[in-house]
Amino acid sequence: MSACNSMKYQESNDNLQFLHQEISQWRESPSEKTVYAPKEETIFLSGGLTLLQDKLIESALNSLGIRYISLPNPNFASFQTGKAYGNRGQCNPTYFTVGNLVKYLQKLRDEQGVSAEEIVRKYVYVTAGGCGPCRFGMYITEYKKALRDAGFEGLRITAFEHNKGIYQGEEIEDPLIEYTPTFFVTLIKAVIIGDIINILGYKMRPYEAEAGSVDRAIEECRKLVADAFLQKRSPLKTMWRCRSILEKVTLNRLQPKPKVMVMGEFWAAMTEGDGNYNLHRFLEAEGAECIPQPIINRLMLSLWEAEQKLYQSETLESETSKSIDFSAVKTRMMLKAGKAAVKLYFTLYAKAIGLHDYHIPNIDKLADYSKSYYTLECEGGEGHLEVAHLLESVKENLAHLVISVKPFGCMPSSAVSDGIQSLVTARHPEANFLAIETSGEGAANFHSRVQMALFKAKQAAKEEFEALKIPEKLPEKVYNYLYQPTNRKAGSAAKLIASL
């Protein structure tokens, strides 16, 4: 009580002069002008994808002569730092990623003795940004606020805008990175290779005969690919070499484990750490096999959305104009080329390392599944993909459990997609679906809800497997990860037995 009584209002609270001032645009700009370091001294920071992809991107960009560092994986301390310096009411990915950046810079200042002025002068943070119906549009402002309050005012932020390609923050006049085709191709290669190795890791780890052998093999592959980028060797040949590393891992794939599709809000579903209470590793420890959401899914959705917008604007224009707009033709060609390139690289690298049963998502097919539930023009978050993934899983029998994970109060995922999912589950009662939110705290509650949903999934996997007749003599190929049969069974063990 005495502490409360001794509190004083800030003087500015009495200042009501703003009431009669002319309204003007608010801008977030530093109070003092900073003289930044020249390009060759500039260091780029980013991160927040999967652990493997962050490291591969670092090597790929370093190979182009860009001084780039991937930040460590965001953890609970990052979240607390984000909360301490951020505004209230933001979503988890902001707290984790903003806090992670501030934490890194504080460490640089306090443990390595680099002054705050030097940090602001030399470092640039690269993040995703963009407009949208949710808080995503406010991320950059949030970074700037937290950096200012943490003593790094003026640190430059530059953004990949998810729906417009790339732009640089308006305060940067001279482009710091040359966004050439080589830059994009190298970056996309690193992301695709990371996706492929991650998918294989999730397929193999639950069945490893010796604990830790898959992680060790994957780390060996990562080093090979990173070296290939740095030494400018062929990534394709390197992926072929990775195949022999993975083949040495002994697997026991005849265990009926529940298959769990993890999807939901992009960051919450993709991150591998405290951001989703280590959901993937938790599921594996509980005896499940995960189907992760690769980053190319989001990339393919962005390309699909851009194509749809183009188609809509062309349809509108053709009703009013008599001439053909050739700029739209050029954009269409570029989008097609982009899609073809992603598919080509994915197919080549996947074949080389031995990922045979995974195909790039067909967004047209997924849109077809979800269009009677979800307005396809409604963008934001994962758009119609969450609803489509659940329908895909039910119709094609892909998983025993579908978990949709999202930060607490995520507008597109909790408020829109989950509302629609209740109609999907009403029409498809066979779906085992769990929508679950993360808030940074509350891991015990989160894990116990996942365990409850897993119980049903484990039973389903066991029944599916036990309904099959196991041959007396099993061929050697069932123990080799390169044998990946496709059929209507969901569990990996059931798929193998059904294929014999």
Q: Which of residues 216-245 bind ligand SF4 (CB under 6 A)?
A: none
The one segment of 196-204, 219-227, 411-419, 439-447 that binds ligand SF4 by CB under 6 A? 411-419
Q: Please, which residue, 104 or 267, has the CB nearer to ligand SF4? A: 267
Name the minimum Å distance from CB 371 to ligand SF4.
21
Distances (CA, A) of 280 to 186, 336, 438: 28, 33, 14
Nearest approach in angstroms of CB 79 to ligand SF4 is: 14
Give the strand order in the sheet containing 43-46: 68-70, 43-46, 123-129, 156-161, 165-167
136 lies in the site for ligand SF4, by CB under 6 A? yes
* CB < 8 Å & 24+ apart, contacts of 362-371: 363/300, 363/301, 363/303, 363/304, 364/304, 365/392, 366/392, 367/304, 369/395
Residue 265 binds ligand SF4, judged by CB under 6 A? yes
Q: Which is nearer to ligand SF4, 266 or 345 (CB)?
A: 266
Nearer to ligand SF4, 218 or 410 (CB): 410
91 binds ligand SF4 (CB under 6 A): yes
- Minimal distance in Å, beta carbon 389 to ligand SF4? 15
Q: How far is the CB of 162 from ligand SF4 (least distance, A)?
A: 11
| Stretch of residues binding ligand SF4 (CB under 6 A), selected from 131-139, 330-338, 353-361, 490-498 | 131-139
Residue 435 binds ligand SF4, judged by CB under 6 A: no
Q: What are 411's two structure tokens?
A: 């507008």
- For ligand SF4, the closer of residues 93 and 294 by Cβ is 93
- As measured in angstroms, the least distance from the Cβ of 72 to ligand SF4 is 21
> What's the distance, CA 36 to chain centroid?
31
Residue choice 411, 435, 461, 490 for contact with ligand SF4 (CB under 6 A): 411
Does 258 bind ligand SF4 (CB under 6 A)? Our answer is: no
Q: Which of 134, 204, 225, 390 binds ligand SF4 (CB under 6 A)?
A: 134
> Between 154 and 275, whose beta carbon lies closer to ligand SF4?
275
Q: 401-407 and 289-291: which strand pairing?
A: unpaired
Closest contact distance (angstroms) between CB of 69 and ligand SF4 is 24
Residues 20-79 that bind ligand SF4 (CB under 6 A): none
When binding is defined by CB under 6 A, the residue of 46, 78, 370, 413 that contacts ligand SF4 is: 413
Q: 99 vs 256, which CB is nearer to ligand SF4?
A: 99
Q: Please tell me whether residue 276 binds ligand SF4 under the rule CB under 6 A.
A: no
In whole angstroms, the minimum distance from the beta carbon of 273 to ligand SF4 comes to 16
CB of 410 to ligand SF4, least distance (A): 3
Across the beta sheet with 289-291, what order do the strands follow? 289-291, 259-264, 401-407, 433-438
Q: Cβ 202 to ligand SF4, closest distance in Å?
A: 23
**Residue 429, both tokens:** 């009662």
Lookup: tokens for 266:
């992009």
Q: Is 135 in the site for ligand SF4 (CB under 6 A)?
A: yes
Piece in contact with ligand SF4 (CB under 6 A), picked from 157-165, 232-240, 269-277, 405-413:
405-413
Cβ-based nearer residue to ligand SF4, 101 or 355: 101
- The whole-angstrom separation of Cα 261 and Cα 230 is 34
Footprint of ligand SF4 (CB under 6 A): 91, 93, 134-136, 265, 381, 407, 410-413
